[in-house]
Amino acid sequence: MKNDASTADKRALKTRRRLQDALTELLEIKPYAAIKIMDIADRAEVSRQTLYLHYYNKNDLLVATLDRYFLQYRDLLIGEIDKDDLDHHMLCQQIFTFWENNRRALELLFAADISEMLFTRHRAIISEIIGRHCEAQNKTISDKAAYIVDFVTAGSIEMLKRWLRDDEPISSSAMADIVSIVTLTLEQQALDMTTTENKPKLSSISK
């Protein structure tokens, strides 16, 4: 029974990946709004019913497809924050370098008008970064942190949107200069600078 379940799981994962790849390929040749469910199913060589077994609708499939990028994005930034000698500027630059290298995915996020998904995913990553930084520095999180996380999340998304719209007129390093100055100032507000033996509570900023 376990082997049967494992085989079924692998088959389901393979089908989901085929559907995600099919959507990605279609997005290279036509706008998202013009893509129909049957276009995706035909491209993936599955039935319409099979697609609906795995995803509620086209937007659900798009979110799953783009989540692959967010996992990579999260791992990249966490890798920076976990370094013994944190380079704050490099951490900020990685935000722009990643999306510069994955410009098409970012364009899709904005074009599909799923801003809530973008905000939620980005906010969760920023919350985790602040939490891990607090833990590493043995500092507590202030009651202002949740507001600051919202501000940084929304602000960085709008900066990315303008940067993309203007065809990246400023280098990723120069963009990092701007973000670094702002976030370093806000960091002092987000953290209580007194050392404590208690680990920070993340529930207040992760919501």
pLDDT tens per residue, range 73-112 = 999 999 988 887 878 888 889 999 999 898 888 887 787 7
**CA–CA separation, 191 vs 141, rounded Å?**
5
Alpha-carbon span 204 to 131, nearest angstrom: 10
- Residue 205: enclosing H or E segment and its boundaries? none
**pLDDT, position 184:** 75
Identify which of 76, 43, 75 has the alpha carbon closest to the alpha carbon of residue 61: 43
Q: Which residue has the tokens 């990685």?
A: 94
- Whether the predicted pLDDT of 114 surpasses 80: no
- Amino acid in the structure at residue 71: L
Distance of alpha carbon 23 from alpha carbon 18, whole angstroms: 9
pLDDT cut 90: percent of the chain above it: 27
CA–CA dist 50, 57 (Å, integer)? 12
Phi–psi pair at 159, nearest 5 degrees: -65, -45
pLDDT at position 187:
66
Q: What is the mean pLDDT of residues 159-183?
A: 87
What mean pLDDT do residues 158-186 have? 86
Between CA 103 and CA 97 the distance in angstroms is 10
Task: Return the pLDDT at 104.
Answer: 81
Give, as one character, the DSSP assignment of residue 83. S
DSSP 139: E
Alpha carbons 100 and 163: distance in angstroms, whole number: 10
- Average pLDDT value for residue range 109-127: 83
Q: What are the beta bridge partners of residue 95?
A: none
Domains of the chain, earliest start first? 1-55 (1.10.10.60), 65-207 (1.10.357)
Confidence of residue 4 (pLDDT cuts 50, 70, 90): low
Specify whether the CB–CB gap between 145 and 126 falls below 8 A: no
The secondary structure of residue 56, as a DSSP letter, is: S
The CB density around residue 44, as the number of other CB atoms within 10 Å, is 21
35-64 pLDDT tens trace: 999 999 999 999 999 999 999 999 899 889
Distance (Å, whole) CA 168 – CA 146:
30
